[in-house]
């Protein structure tokens, strides 16, 4: 160390009565990352200037706040999904969906057919359960899906 001194590196030797008792090496080229890994220098502001360490602390606080906000948003989304899944599987909601589906695929035709069957006794006697399903209901119910609980409930 003594032999390799230059403008960036200096060595100090402490001596007592012609005997070297201490050596200190000084340098301007400090590897702060290495020092931070090896020692706990956070107490000394990581040996950085105050404005740098303040900026680092502000950024850390910002990242923590963003992480907290992301967790809160995920919880809100999960609660919303639970509510939506619950509402979709509700009996009343499914009745409303069936009514909307029937109206969209020709509810007026279905009402006319039912009125004809009710008014014509001969026609109503001809229809049995299978016949009604084949002629009327399968045509109108095609494409309607009953909502079951989603995988969200399983999770």
Q: What is the pLDDT of residues 113-150, one digit of tens each?
A: 778 777 877 777 766 656 665 666 777 777 777 766 66
Q: Provide DSSP, 113-140.
A: HHHHHHH-HHHHHH--HHHHIIIIIHHH
Lowest mean pLDDT segment, chosen from 4-8, 9-13, 83-87: 83-87
Q: Look at residue 53 and tell me if it is in a domain.
A: no
The torsion region of residue 145 among left (phi > 0), alpha (psi -120 to 50) and beta comes to beta
Q: Look at residue 140 and tell me if it is in a domain.
A: yes
Q: Look at residue 67 and tell me if it is in a domain.
A: no
Please tell me the distance from the alpha carbon of residue 5 to that of residue 11, in angstroms, as a whole number.
7
Cβ atoms of 123 and 135 closer than 8 Å: no
Q: Is the pLDDT of residue 58 over 80?
A: yes
**Coarse DSSP helix, strand, coil percentages of the chain, rounded to the nearest 5 percent:** 65, 10, 25
Q: Look at residue 110 and tell me if it is in a domain.
A: yes
Residue 154 has what pLDDT?
A: 58
What residues have CB less than 8 Å from 120, skipping those under 6 apart? none
The torsion region of residue 138 among left (phi > 0), alpha (psi -120 to 50) and beta comes to alpha
**Structural domain harbouring 12:** 1-30
Q: How many CB atoms lie within 10 A of CB 46?
A: 15
pLDDT band, residue 67 (cuts 50/70/90): very high
Task: Please tell me the total count of domains within the chain.
Answer: 2
Cβ atoms of 85 and 153 closer than 8 Å: yes
Whole-angstrom CA distances from 25 to 7, 13, 111 are 13, 9, 98
Q: Look at residue 44 and tell me if it is in a domain.
A: no
Q: Residue 16: helix, strand or coil by DSSP?
A: strand
Q: Look at residue 35 and tell me if it is in a domain.
A: no
Q: Look at residue 66 and tell me if it is in a domain.
A: no
Q: Look at residue 8 and tell me if it is in a domain.
A: yes
Cβ atoms of 107 and 139 closer than 8 Å: no
């Amino acid at each position: 160390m003594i032999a390799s001194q230059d403008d960036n590196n200096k060595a100090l030797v402490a001596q007592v009565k012609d005997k070297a008792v201490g050596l200190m090496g000084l340098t301007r080229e400090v590897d702060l990352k290495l020092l931070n890994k090896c020692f706990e220098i956070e107490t000394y502001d990581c040996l950085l200037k105050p404005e740098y360490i303040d900026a680092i602390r502000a950024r850390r606080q910002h990242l923590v706040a963003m992480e907290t906000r992301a967790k809160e948003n995920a919880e809100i989304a999960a609660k919303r999904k639970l509510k939506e899944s619950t509402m979709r599987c509700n009996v009343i909601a499914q009745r409303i969906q069936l009514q909307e589906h029937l109206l969209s695929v020709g509810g007026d035709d279905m009402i006319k057919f039912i009125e004809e069957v009710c008014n014509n006794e001969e026609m109503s006697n001809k229809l049995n359960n299978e016949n009604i399903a084949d002629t009327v209901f399968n045509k109108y119910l095609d494409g309607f899906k009953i909502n079951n609980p989603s995988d969200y409930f399983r999770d």
